[in-house]
Amino acid sequence: MQAEVKIDELIIGTGKAAERGALITAHYRGWLEDGTEFDSSFKNAAPFQTVLSNKRVIQGWILGLQGMCEGGKRKLWVPAELAYGERQIGNMIPANSNLIFEIELLEVLTR
């Protein structure tokens, strides 16, 4: 059985839709399943900007954000195999961790 990202639409956006390869700007928070927050763009007081590509973000973000429109907010449940798999990330994300993200899409710039 193939791993899938579970998506919960919290707010449906009305702007441009995100697609693979697009430059996006977003605010997000990330948690482990036990509720431990491991990252947040709010801590940096600046939104996160990245390209939706395998070289920049985890597969779970690419799958979970495609089709999401500017102004939207989603909660993503990302299984370990679509996140970091067997790799431990720093001291915050143990190997084989399922991750939860709440992402607010602020802007989409297509290529």
Determine the distance from the C-alpha atom of residue 10 to the mean position of all C-alpha atoms in its chain, rounded to a whole number: 14
User: Tokens in use for 40?
Assistant: 């947040």
Catalytic machinery residues: 28, 38-39, 58, 84, 101
Provide the b/e sequence for 10-36 (b: ≥16 CB within 10 Å).
eeebeebbbbeebbbbbbbbbeeeeee
